[in-house]
Amino acid sequence: MRAHQGVLRTGAALLTAGLLAGCGLLSTEPESSDRADGRPGDTSASPSPGLKETPKTPPLPAALTSQRPDWKRCTAPSGGSAPGSDWRCTSVKVPLDYAKPSGETLAVALIRKQARDKDRRLGSMLFNFGGPGGSGVEILPRAASSYEKLNSRYDLVGFDPRGVAASSGVNCRTDEEQEQALRSVDLTPDTAAEEAAFIKDGADFGAGCQRRSGKVLPHVGTSNAARDLDLIREVLGDDKLSYFGFSYGTELGGTYAHLFPQNVGRTVLDAVVDPTADGIGHARNQATGFQRALENYLKDRGENPKAGSERIARMLARIDRKPLPTASGRELTESLAVTGIVTPLYSQSGWPALTAALDEAENKGTGDGLIQLADSYNGRDEDGRYDTQAHSQRAISCADSKARPTVDEARALLPEFRKLSPVFGPFLAWDTAGWCAQWPVDGEHETPETSAPGAGPILVIGTTGDPATPYEGAQRMADELGKGVGIMLTNKGEGHGAYGEGDCVTAAVDGYFLDGKVPQDGTTCG
């Protein structure tokens, strides 16, 4: 779930709990034997018969396709680097503008843990953990213990997509500017003055991106990231791309499958973004999904879902009128309170923290629990520094989507969205107008193209209680990929993402990746 100011995200926050912290590419000693041979060739998009016409890009020069990545020991955020560290870092040059492939380049940062069983190695597996804007270089080492079985035969490879972190990461405002905006801008404006401030802040954010990152801003969209994936695949020496995408990473995976169906290898899409939804459609889906998750939480604690939702909505209205104090001296605003409520809904394991934070706010009149949850989600550390995922997230989203709803259009959505969710609906309705307000770069499409006739089978996993990417989106992705390509696997349960949460889904994914066993379309776990 995303919102103005990057308050509500998808994907990466799930896996990192907002604790993204400096991996960097701090190389120590080179290891010349730890390189992959690149193979020259044409990686331009070549749609198969039946695909919608997609703008073609010129062939890439051999200077790019024949790169030999120089892997070096590097610092991993999960505990640092020591002699004998398993993690290696490098970068791959990609065209800044694929329409000018022999022109300026940028470097995409990668991190790798090699397969343990060298004799049975299947190749590289690339991961995208969502956002958009999540740093795979930082997240993969933190999450790698979940993929130990896959690491037996695959090199695990994380990367920072273009415009993210170490790959020419977009930067739009200072920590002080971010803190000031989160304190002062009402994300559900009630007056003309609040509306004006809301829209001005969106425009100011975009202007800051243009000032600080104007060179890359037009080129950070998902289709270019997918082209980068194919170049990385070639440079790593793989005939087919093995890929594991979560949340926004499923949109990237679907886009890749459309552009390069002939290069699709074993691919899993988990916690799937609805490819048929435009910006308002995504907001509508998320209002539905997060309300569904909130009601499941309320039922679990023995409370009537409708009454509990209305109670929380009344609490938010009180906080809007009078923010709650915290021990740090900062105030818990309505916007931060909603973020704090959203955070633990991503996983059922977070529900006890939500109970404690809500009880504190309602019974003690203090906001420490909710503001701590909001800070972790917003990427704010104890020293008041913010990560830049929200900057990259917004830049990528606005480069993708043509939609630029107005204030009047957002206001007209309020009755419908309040009915969908009295807690989250107003924020998501207003967000449609604030997110890309006066954005300095045009968007590419209304909705992404993910049809992929001719591609190999792609495993699509939807969780029935997923709050951020509701289950229905996975069904639509499977349909859009095409018959025989999109293989639907249903996980009956809660949370954003199914792999590693239950034996049934995990076994199905492992069997597919390691042994090529494709589950029957329509299989249900749980």
Q: Say if residue 521's pLDDT is above 50.
A: yes
pLDDT at 83: 53
pLDDT band at 78, cuts 50/70/90? low
Question: Is residue 429 within 8 Å of residue 414, measured between CB atoms?
Answer: yes
Write the pLDDT tens digit of every residue in 418-435.
999 999 999 999 999 999
CB burial of residue 293 (10 Å; 0-12, 13-18, 19+): buried
pLDDT at 75: 80
Average pLDDT over residues 349-376: 98
pLDDT at 499: 98
pLDDT at 85: 80
Question: Is residue 265 within 8 Å of residue 122, measured between CB atoms?
Answer: no
* Cα dist from 365 to 215, 317, 323, 481, 515, whole Å: 47, 14, 10, 50, 55
Gap between the Cα atoms of 21 and 232, Å rounded:
24
Segment holding 432, helix H or strand E = helix 425-434
Q: Say if residue 260's pLDDT is above 60.
A: yes
pLDDT at 56: 75
Q: How many CB atoms lie within 10 A of CB 506?
A: 16
Among the residue ranges 27-36, 137-146, 179-188, the one predicted with the least confidence is 27-36
Choose between 311 and 6: higher pLDDT.
311
Q: Say if residue 51's pLDDT is above 90.
A: no
Among the residue ranges 18-32, 81-95, 151-165, 186-200, the one predicted with the least confidence is 18-32
What average pLDDT is seen over the chain? 90
Sequence-ordered list of residues with C-beta below 8 angstroms from that of 243, at least 6 positions apart, any chain: 125, 126, 127, 128, 229, 253, 256, 265, 266, 267, 268
Gap between the Cα atoms of 428 and 1, Å rounded:
9
Return the structure tokens found at 309: 């939702």
Gap between the Cα atoms of 39 and 36, Å rounded:
10
Q: Say if residue 252's pLDDT is above 50.
A: yes
Q: Say if residue 406's pLDDT is above 70.
A: yes
Q: Say if residue 18's pLDDT is above 80.
A: no
Q: Say if residue 316's pLDDT is above 90.
A: yes
Average pLDDT over residues 63-70: 97
As a whole-number percent, the residues of the chain with pLDDT over 90 amount to 87
Gap between the Cα atoms of 512 and 157, Å rounded:
18
Among the residue ranges 16-25, 224-233, 345-354, 432-441, the one predicted with the least confidence is 16-25
As a whole-number percent, the residues of the chain with pLDDT over 70 amount to 88
pLDDT at 81: 56
Q: Say if residue 479's pLDDT is above 60.
A: yes
Catalytic sites, residue numbers: 247, 466, 496
Orientation of helix 222-235 relative to helix 248-259, angle to 10°: 70
Q: How long, in residues, is the chain?
A: 526
Write the pLDDT tens digit of every residue in 441-460.
999 999 999 999 999 999 99
Gap between the Cα atoms of 19 and 338, Å rounded:
19
Average pLDDT over residues 179-203: 95
pLDDT at 61: 97
Average pLDDT over residues 462-489: 98
Average pLDDT over residues 358-370: 98
Q: Say if residue 489's pLDDT is above 70.
A: yes
Q: What is the dihedral of CA 408, 312, 175, 193, to 10 degrees?
A: 30
Reading across the β-sheet that carries 154-159, which strands appear in turn? 72-73, 87-95, 105-113, 154-159, 123-128, 241-247, 264-272, 458-465, 486-494, 523-525
For residue 66, which of 35, 27, 33 has the smallest C-alpha distance? 35
Gap between the Cα atoms of 211 and 200, Å rounded:
16
Q: Is 7 helix (H, G, I), strand (E, B) or coil?
A: coil
